[in-house]
Amino acid sequence: MATLLNVHRVKYQCSCGSFKSLCYLYFCRHCLKIKCKDCVILEVDCRFCPSCYEHLQSHEAITRKNRCQSCFSCPCCNHTLVTRATNTTAAASPSLNITPDSTTTASLDVDDTISSSTNVSGLQTPSKKVYYLACSVCRWSTRDIRLVDQPTLNSWKAQDNIHEGRFNELLQHYKQIATREKQERDRKRYSTVKLRTTMPTTANRSTSSSDKYGLLAPLTRRGIRTSGILKTPSLTESTNPANPSPKSAETIEQIEALDENLFLNDSFDFNKLTTITQRLNSVEIQPLTIDRLYPLAKNFTSKQSKRCKECDHNVLKPEPSPKLIKFKLHQMALFFIPEIRIWYHPTWSLNDNNSCILSIINQLDEQTTLKIYTLDEIREENTDKELIERINQFDENILTSKLIFPLEKERSVQLHAHVEPNETDTKIDDELRQNDSKDLVIYRKFAKIAIRCFIKIKSNNVKTVLSAFIIEHRVVGISPIVSTPTPTGPNPISQNVRHIVFIDFGSIDESALPLHSALT
């Protein structure tokens, strides 16, 4: 297939009016409409580390700043760092700060944590296993920045941030502002509620109401509970002197001029400078040279569900476990709507009808009837005004050609189910082939058919051949209301739906596509 990977050539119109390829669309079985990524709501189901698959709840991941404490990425090439073990030989009185330069390393993969070794003088010195991080792609390691080897796994601490105190100060300040704003909204909401603390002036009505219904005591208690909220200080009032406002940021008025001889100096080495990407990966520190690069904690990724904005039902629901790639609910439009591709088009002629071939593939596991309409036929029907309005706007502004089918009557084709064929399916396929119109259907093989159409270019100034037509097929949806519950679930509903299919045949100067071997 010449256009197998060119999925952008054939697009379907979403319910919002945009055109997307079928593999990027969803189909809601409740409202029976096509949905794109702008028509669904994203919901995070779980957060996990892509390296060790550690699964955390949302509040725990936020506490860790969405970073894994066990896995690290290389600051140079962003690949996952590997933990390596080695033996280090220390002196008789070991020091707490041991660097790779002050120790002697032995072979890797040692089983004993602490062993004994003999030095040159014959004295027994303790040997201890230590760990460091290394990248298997660019060969960067924590020893390149003279980072101390750790005695245990996963004991690397985060790099100190000199601005952490300032960030915490601002965070606490804005939390106080958010709390006061919430209290202000609550004060305004409760102040509009009329507390019925007084009854009518007539003594008989007051006595009978309080004695019969007992309304006075609950209203009094409610007024006591809300008295604290009603007396909440507003945002314009002075704040607590114990928590003063943070110091305002100081503007740098004078910036040091760059020394012109800096780059001409022989001691300056461009290879030791970090790139913009490396600095932004460590945005807290933004190291200038490569000897200040620090291992980056692995960012968490997430599994997301997608929910229809119109009917609030899920169209995509993955399994909660990060190790599973299956879906609980997977309503891709590719599984419910026939897929159309360009099979052949000739060298374009401006004056004649250009014969083209389109392939249609049924992805459903049941036989489907597909009806094909031109844009003019939908206008003549005049039944769906919303569809006609979209067609007129689309035809005037975008389309550069007119698509025509060989049959003038109602065009309907039977699509075989997308299943593994057997002897029965072969017989059904032969029967469908005999009932096909030879002018329209020129090829059939189980769930795949090829139809013929003609393209008439509108004007001589056309640079790109753009055309469209309408397809109609039956879909089985899910009823939102079930009058009689059944053990199999909700009652399915069946309805015919129509879709606008937009085809981009390419440039008018493009050469003809090769004809498929089945058609020669």
CA atoms of 299 and 66, how far apart (whole Å): 6
Domain-wise residue ranges, the chain: 337-483+491-507
CA atoms of 263 and 272, how far apart (whole Å): 13
CB count within 10 Å of CB 462 equals 15
Phi/psi for 223 (5° steps) reads: -65, -35
- Sequence-separated (6 or more) residues with CB below 8 Å from residue 279: 286, 287, 288
CB 73 within 8 A of CB 81: yes
CB 401 within 8 A of CB 462: yes
CA atoms of 406 and 353, how far apart (whole Å): 11
Q: What are the DSSP calls for 438-505, one per residue?
A: TTTEEEEETTEEEEEEEEEE--TT-SEEEEEEEEEEEEEEE-S--SS--TT-SPEEEEEEEEEEEEEE
CA atoms of 492 and 480, how far apart (whole Å): 9
CA atoms of 157 and 385, how far apart (whole Å): 65
Amino acid at 346: P
CA atoms of 488 and 153, how far apart (whole Å): 52
**40: which 2 tokens?**
């669904």
**174: which 2 tokens?**
């804005």
**123: which 2 tokens?**
């004295």
Cα 107 off chain centre by: 45
CA atoms of 87 and 510, how far apart (whole Å): 66
pLDDT in tens, the chain (520 residues): 445 667 889 999 998 889 999 999 999 988 889 999 999 999 998 899 998 898 888 888 888 888 888 899 999 988 999 999 888 775 544 433 444 444 433 333 434 444 444 555 555 666 788 889 999 999 999 988 888 888 888 788 877 888 888 888 898 899 999 999 988 888 877 766 544 444 444 444 444 444 444 444 554 544 544 444 444 455 455 445 556 778 888 888 888 888 777 777 777 778 888 899 989 888 888 888 888 888 999 999 999 999 999 888 999 999 988 888 889 888 999 899 999 999 888 999 888 889 999 999 998 888 888 999 998 888 888 888 888 888 888 887 888 899 999 887 778 888 888 888 888 888 888 888 888 888 888 888 888 899 999 999 988 888 999 999 999 998 887 755 443 444 444 456 788 889 999 999 989 888 888 877 666 5
